[in-house]
Structure 1
Amino acid sequence: MNKKAGETAPLPGEGETGSRYTVDDLNIKVQQAHEVLLDLERRREEIERQKRQLEELRKKQRDFEVGHRAVTEELTRSIALLERHQEEWERELEDIRSVRKTLAGQLSALEALEPASWEPANLGEELTKALALIDQSRAALRQAQGRINRLGWDGAVREGGAPRGEEAAAEVEQESGFWQKVASGFAYSLPLILSLLALSLFWFWMFKK
């Protein structure tokens, strides 16, 4: 069919398909494509977020497993060590209590001595008992010395961490005080002893006549 004058030929690409889309249609298509891209971007971001969450959860799970195992093992070892030391210290404490009770008994017995109250007639017997008690206390100290040394203490029993020189001076002073009491008791009883001796000599002289 021949074209009439004045008619223009259709542009390339125009035909039935090209003629069915208008500018508005194209704008709608572009808008739809843009929305699809935005939706895909949101999905990608959501996937990335979930990926980060999963990675964080996996890291926390690994940290939990490693930390749980390590701390559990360390706690088990520590508790076993403490229980072992607790048993040793309880035995040591019981030993200390026993030694302390023994030494306290010896100290009480020594402090209970009152030389001034001894009867002159029984002075020798009282001195023998007192010396035996001192020897017994020294033996108890020697027996306890090994236990005391295990506690890290040097020398004999110290009260309040007193230096050895001060302790020795205190011991000498205590012994001096003891014998001073003995001498004092004897001095108090000396007039009575002399009187009895004089009376005995007088009766002996009278009966001899």
Structure 2
Amino acid sequence: PAFIFFIFGLPLIRKALREQKELAYLLLLGAMAFFALYVQILSGWAMESRFIALFLIPTLPIAGFGVEAVLKYVSRKFGWKQPVILLLLGIFLIAPGVYKELKASSDHNIILKKIGEAIARKERGARAVQIAGTLRRMQLVHFYANLPYQGAPCFDSSLWLKPRDTSALEKAIDQGIEYFVYDEGNWSSQDLVTIEKKKGIFFETVQTWETPGFGKVRLLRIKRE
């Protein structure tokens, strides 16, 4: 939504430059950042979203001009006071992001709960279970998996692995973990095959989930020979 303010602000750049010549420096930085991002995309055909900040930060005055233009237009058209317009603009900007974040967080927590409950059904509280994986908030899986257990085992933060960190997973297996949460966004099947051959183990699929955020997620039980 914020891009709209850039559109409204573009026609005001020339006038602003006449009044505030120092803006030319920021616009030059923005143009150079845009060119650098363009070259990055052409060379690697990929770009992290955080890189866009290099372009956005120096060009924020353009968005500011756009906000000012919208304020004047709405105030003139509807006769609203500026604080009311600013409040509505704030809601307009923030609401989509908040909704998206809350929905993603809810979906994330639901899948973690399902994984933990699948482990709990299998183990039935007979022992404390240790689970490794890459998904954010892996401690929720640990919590639900050990909910039937009489004790209160703590989650080992070293079992929250980095993507495709096979050495860390091998170390966790040596420590005796029973389950591994595989998600195709952070691991490949070849990673599992390599570890199976190296450690003499077998990853048994307990259950699989198709998720919009993580792709295919599999709960794997580690079977030792």
Band the TM-score falls in, shorter-chain normalisation: under 0.3
- Which structure carries more helix by proportion? 1
RCO higher in structure (CA 8 A, sep ≥6):
1
TM-score where L is the length of structure 1: 0.27
TM-score where L is the length of structure 2: 0.25
Quick check: which has more Rg, 1 or 2? Answer: 1
